[in-house]
Amino acid sequence: MKRPRGSSTIRRKTARESSHGSHVLSVPSDRALRVVVVSDTHSSPHPNAIHVVRQLAPDVILHGGDIGDLEVLSPLRAIAPVFAVRGNIDGHAPEIPDFVELELRLRETRLLKILLIHRAVYGPRLLPDAAALARRSSASLVVCGHSHVPFIGRDRGLTLFNPGSIGPKRFNLPITLGLLCVSESGATLKHVSCETGETWLPGAPLQ
């Protein structure tokens, strides 16, 4: 599988600054770039998670934080490049950035700018600090985790995407991951059940 080429920089966290990564990814000219989004593994991803991720044939995998044991990233990295952010349980992993900016380009044209951060929404609303960070990053899509609730929405002029959790089941919430497909013609978002591998509704086009 063709892997996207990218450039990246990661700054170390200081007393006054969160660490972050900045990456540019190339979108193929002949097909959509496939981005699988997972989150909140809490050291124990669902046994079917890797199989479902592999079946989705991603070019890139995003992890929205609360990773837990960093070894859970290894089987994901065996499938595709992984970009992960640190969640509130990941204080043991200072090498993982607090947020990541991803710019998806087709040749010289920017198709989409993503902000990947662990905690960004409260219910359906974007938190003010996440909104400010997204605007400084010129991002139009905020990808987050934390709540374990699969969610696609719009707030403050930005699209919000929480893939849900592929970690231990919480209450009656589903165990889901996300799929983002980006091409010259646009972008789509959907959720996939980690238990069945089938689309989990709701799903919506990216506006």
Please report whether residue 151 resides in a domain.
yes
Please report whether residue 16 resides in a domain.
no
Please report whether residue 123 resides in a domain.
yes
Q: Which domain holds residue 105?
A: 33-205
Number of domains in the chain: 1
CATH of the domain at 58: 3.60.21.10
**pLDDT recorded at residue 20:** 87
**pLDDT recorded at residue 202:** 65
Please report whether residue 75 resides in a domain.
yes
The residue behind tokens 């592929």 is 166
Please report whether residue 101 resides in a domain.
yes
CB 187 within 8 A of CB 111: yes
DSSP code per residue over 55-71? HT--SEEEE-S---SGG
Kindly provide the b/e burial profile for residues 159-178, where b requires at least 16 CB atoms within 10 angstroms of the residue's own CB: bbbbbbbbbeeeeeebbbbb
**pLDDT recorded at residue 18:** 66
Quote the tokens at residue 5: 């080429």
Please report whether residue 24 resides in a domain.
no
pLDDT along the chain (207 residues), means of 10: 42 50 95 98 98 98 98 98 98 96 96 98 95 96 97 96 96 95 96 95 56
Cβ neighbors of 26 (< 8 A, separation 6 or more) are 4, 5, 6, 105, 106
**pLDDT recorded at residue 11:** 35
Please report whether residue 7 resides in a domain.
no
Please report whether residue 12 resides in a domain.
no
